[in-house]
Amino acid sequence: MIRILIKNATILTMNINRDIIKNGAIAINENRILDVGSTSEIEKKYSADKIIDAQKKIVLPGLINTHTHLSMTLLRGYADDMPLKQWLEEKIWPLEQHLTAEDCYIGALLGCLEMIKSGTTCFADMYYHLENVARAVEQSGLRADLCYPLLELGDPNRGEKLLGVGTQAIKSLYGMANDRIHCSFGPHATNTCSAGLLQKVKKLADELKVNIHIHVSETKGEFEQFKTQYGKTPVEYLQDLNFLGANVLAAHCVWLSDNDIKLLKETNTKVAHNPTSNMKLASGIAPVPKLLASGVTVGLGTDSCASNNNLDMFGEMKMAALAHKVNSLDPTLMPAQKVLEMATINGAKVLGLKNEIGSIEPNKKADLIIVNASKPNWTPLFNPYSNLVYSAHGDDVETVIVNGEILMENRRVETISEQKIIEEAQKKADDLVKRSKLGGK
């Protein structure tokens, strides 16, 4: 007797052959996928405690958000239509000074709720009060790689203190929630951390065998600053520090030279592409087609709700597809299947989890979503990849399973209280702005 059997589905496996199984079934036992095949074959082999009939539905791996700042859901819409530097220094950073641990917990719960409702099952996050973010993730049932932001901003003592906080968080939180929660080091960016701090982070990350999550070359100003100050790009600067590597997740990478792309490939450094945030802040459009063509592993991220302003990875996929087409005036770039790869199997590779999640295959963790393909925006259905990227949105997700547990079924979230979280989050956001005495934009 197995725990869950999903039958009569169209399954987008995202395996190495990108197999699509029509009238397919998935057998789930404990927290892993036991078997995948035709419904007739799977039903003969297994009986299950729970059977989900996915007739006229698409089953695919859960979406993976490779860059966000979860608790910033409380800042959604607080400071829009501003340049990044002004946005950070005049609005976001001052308001964040007033965040409490409870604020971050409620904000993280709201973010988890939004991701469950829109089909994200795993995410990479950088934010404060990490233990409270982890508590929210544990309760929600999602999978995450969390890191504490290290911002030195010219103060070495601050850097040392935060490095200690980040190291302790990794040691105390890594592996909690039945190994659904991993932790990384989070040096904020090349221009907010000193060379010495970055080198210490890299040494510790290699020793502890964990990832590093950092913002790199997000704006033209940052890119030009490094060229003027150091005579090299931010990526070249990091390479000279021996910082780049397979355990490094570089978020944004909007401004890159051809040599930067070569260095990212040679060092197996991973990239998180955040098209909506980059466009909203007018940071630019990352050279993702070039990165992919060069063999760089690129995942997809939403960035925070303060700069996006949502966590819907379906919207992010569509933005990723369209931005590069119009930027290059080439409609053949970033086809739907490639974009879905970025949101699934590539995301798993970015987080070092390619053997665990990102595709529907036997022995992988049972992280998957079921999408209703019989809605008006799905009709007619000729190509499931096309409809997922160009027609679908988060509300089309009906069921979410993570680690073999059903987090949402038929749009009802089972693990956390939807209405209570929404009400509490509004109260916390109002109180935060009131306490800060900063006001809105």
Residue 115: its pLDDT value, please?
Answer: 98
The closest of 381, 360, 421, 390 to 115, measured between CA atoms, is 421
Domain residue limits at 123: 63-350
Residues 227 and 261 in one domain: yes
In angstroms, rounded to a whole number, what is the distance separating the alpha carbons of residues 96 and 86? 15
**Distant-in-sequence, close-in-space partners of 106: CB < 8 Å, separation ≥ 6:** 74, 421, 424, 425, 428
Q: Determine the distance from the C-alpha atom of residue 345 to the mean position of all C-alpha atoms in its chain, rounded to a whole number.
A: 12
Helix (H, G, I), strand (E, B) or coil at 403: coil
Residues 241 and 267 in one domain: yes
The sign of the CA dihedral 354, 198, 174, 399 is: negative
Residues 254 and 375 in one domain: no
Residues 33 and 83 in one domain: no
pLDDT in tens, 133-174: 999 999 999 999 999 999 998 888 999 999 999 999 999 999
| 276 pLDDT more than 90 | yes
pLDDT in tens, 328-358: 999 999 999 999 999 999 999 999 999 999 9
pLDDT band, residue 436 (cuts 50/70/90): confident
Residues 91 and 199 in one domain: yes
In angstroms, rounded to a whole number, what is the distance separating the alpha carbons of residues 170 and 183? 5
Q: Is residue 374 part of a domain?
A: yes
Residues 169-190: what's their mean pLDDT? Answer: 97
The closest of 389, 377, 387 to 340, measured between CA atoms, is 389
| 313 pLDDT more than 50 | yes
Residues 119 and 218 in one domain: yes
Q: Determine the distance from the C-alpha atom of residue 292 to the mean position of all C-alpha atoms in its chain, rounded to a whole number.
A: 18
- Label each residue of 118-166 as H, E or C: CCEEEEEEECCCHHHHHHHHHHHCCEEEEEEEECCCCCHHHHHHHHHHH
Q: Is residue 421 part of a domain?
A: no
Residues 296 and 406 in one domain: no
Residues 70 and 211 in one domain: yes
Each as own residue / partner, the long-range contacts of residues 389-395 (CB below 8 Å, 24 or more positions apart, any chain) are 389/314, 389/317, 389/318, 389/321, 389/336, 389/339, 389/340, 390/318, 390/321, 390/336, 392/314, 393/118, 393/312, 393/314, 393/315, 394/117, 394/118, 394/119, 394/312, 394/313, 394/314, 394/315, 395/117, 395/118
Helix (H, G, I), strand (E, B) or coil at 98: coil
* Total number of domains constituting the chain: 2
Residues 26 and 73 in one domain: no
The label of the residue with tokens 């929630």 reads 177
The closest of 249, 245, 292, 299 to 274, measured between CA atoms, is 299
Residue 441: its pLDDT value, please?
Answer: 46
pLDDT band, residue 57 (cuts 50/70/90): very high
262 in Cβ contact with 198 (< 8 Å): no
Dmax (CA) of the chain: 67
Helix (H, G, I), strand (E, B) or coil at 174: coil
- By 3-state DSSP, what share of the chain in percent is helix, strand and coil, each rounded to 5? 45, 25, 35
Q: What count of other Cβ atoms lies within 10 Å of the Cβ of residue 282? A: 12
CATH assignment at residue 20: 2.30.40.10
Residue 324: its pLDDT value, please?
Answer: 97
